[in-house]
Amino acid sequence: MFDQLYKAQRARERHLNAPLVDERIRYLSHWAAQESVRSSLRVKAQDLLTTIEYLDVGAASQISEKQIINAANRWARRQPQPPNVIDFHYGKLRFIYHARQWIAFLRRLRLPKVPRPPYAHLLDQFSNYMREERGLSPVTIHKRRQHVTQFVLKSSIVPLVRSLFSTSTRPLLARASRMLTAARQ
């Protein structure tokens, strides 16, 4: 892989002699198969070396988002700093983005546990109603559930939603969900 990306022997050796070479080659090969251009692959390859330098990928079995962000902060504060860089904000974002993608590709990204919203059981009831009483397809149920969730999150009306999910108003909510779906199409 590195012989396709770099003409200089020294650059190829730097990448081949760095840790986790098999994992990096597999990742870059994945992106090459997605038809990434050579310049993008070179940026990814260099960012992987930077990630390895600032984030102990080899030792940890799972890596958290916080560890990636801390490594990006260490990278941005490194000394000596390059003379031509004024702001490391976008560099940090790129570091985080590439590190997160690679760690996730390796299936070693520890995702934070997302708490279940207080109205989740109501969404479950609504999904059961659509599946059992209305006979809707899983895709339709999923989309309608998404629409209701977005509506609740944007409007912050959880108490009203609780009343809408009462058994007497389920058909009304189902109709509203259908109308939302139709309006988006």
pLDDT in tens, 64-115: 889 999 999 988 888 787 777 777 788 888 889 999 999 999 898 888 787 8
Alpha carbon of 39 to those of 36, 120, 154: distances in Å?
A: 8, 45, 40
Q: Which residue has the tokens 């139709």?
A: 182
pLDDT in tens, 46-73: 899 888 888 887 766 888 889 999 999 9
Q: Which of 27, 58, 56 is nearest to 40 (CA)?
A: 27
Same domain assignment for residues 95 and 131: no
Same domain assignment for residues 102 and 131: no
Phi, psi of 70 (to 5 degrees): -60, -40
DSSP 95: H
Residue 170 in any domain: the answer is: yes
Same domain assignment for residues 99 and 156: no
> pTM value?
0.59
Residue 115 in any domain: the answer is: no
Residue 106 in any domain: the answer is: yes
Count of the separate structural domains present in the chain: 2
Q: Which domain holds residue 40?
A: 2-110
Alpha carbon of 8 to those of 14, 18, 52: distances in Å?
A: 10, 16, 22
